[in-house]
Structure 1
Amino acid sequence: MLKYWLLLYTAIAFEVCGTMCMKFSNGFSRLLPSILIFVFYGISFASMSVAVRKIDVGVAYAIWSGVGIVSVVSLSCIFLGETITMFKAFSLLIIIAGVICLNFAGNS
């Protein structure tokens, strides 16, 4: 079972990389980041498709999207100088709470 959870977190890591490459591709006008979007998302989807063999798809997708959102927002603030307001921070907490609740619901 650990293998499937590791694949889920691999899927998340590559999804975050693909999303960050969207910013760096400048609307598909830069070749390498544009290519990397498809490479990273391909790896992400392949990993996710194996992970959902043993993890409930609803739980896996909630974790994949929730952790991805929080990661992209965090990286954007750290490396791209994007700002985070109290409302954004509160919204991220709601996303995290939702992912945690769905994870517990999937295990019951």
Structure 2
Amino acid sequence: MMSYVYLTLAIVSEIAATSLLKLSQGFSKMFFGILALVLYGLCFFCLSLSLKGIQLNLAYAIWSGIGLVGTTVLSILFFHEKVTLTSLLGITLVIVGLVILNLSQKIH
């Protein structure tokens, strides 16, 4: 159970760090850039702790997939970035892939 808590913390900190990279404007706003680096450090620390109880392939798939979807949602809501039908299809395929991977782990 704690492994999934750590994975959730890794995902949240990765999404926040990536959004802060946007706000750092290429590290010209150092506060946001440094905060992004700190959050990336927290992200990888939590991800490493999650691997004590979750298989690497599953943890990485969940981390990267939810990170992709979360970052996309934040970029639309806060940075007013455009999303195309093709990108929505790609995100949907990632979600379907995560579900299939998660189900395949439970079968074994």
Q: Same fold (TM over 0.5)?
A: yes
Runs (5+) with no aligned partner, structure 1: none
- Once the two structures are TM-superposed, the CA of residue 85 in structure 1 deviates from its matched residue by 1.2
**2:38 matched residue in structure 1:** 39
Residue number in structure 2 paired with 1:51: 50
| Alignment-derived partner of residue 4 in structure 1 | 3
Deviations 1:11-35 (A, max 9, x none): 0000001100110111111111110
1:22 maps onto 2:16 in alignment: no
Q: Does 1:62 align with 2:32?
A: no
Distance 1:52 1:106 in 2: 15
Quote the offset at 1:102 in angstroms. 1.1
User: In the alignment, which residue of structure 2 is the partner of 1:77?
Assistant: 76
Give the secondary-structure state (helix, strand or coil) at the position aligned to 2:27: coil
Tell me how far apart the structure 1 counterparts of residues 50 and 106 of structure 2 sit (CA, whole Å). Answer: 16
CA shift for structure 1 position 107: 2.0
**TM-score of the superposition, structure 2-length normalised?**
0.96
Q: Alignment partner of 2:68: what SS?
A: helix
After superposition, the C-alpha distances for 1:44-95 in whole angstroms (9 at most, x for unaligned) are 1010101011100100000000000000001100110001111111110001
Please report the RMSD computed on the Cα atoms of aligned residues, expressed in angstroms: 0.7
Write the letter of the residue equivalent to 1:43: L
Runs ≥4 in structure 1, deviation > 2 angstroms?
Answer: none
Give the TM-score normalised by the residue count of structure 1: 0.96
* 1: CA distance, partners of 2:105 / 2:27: 38
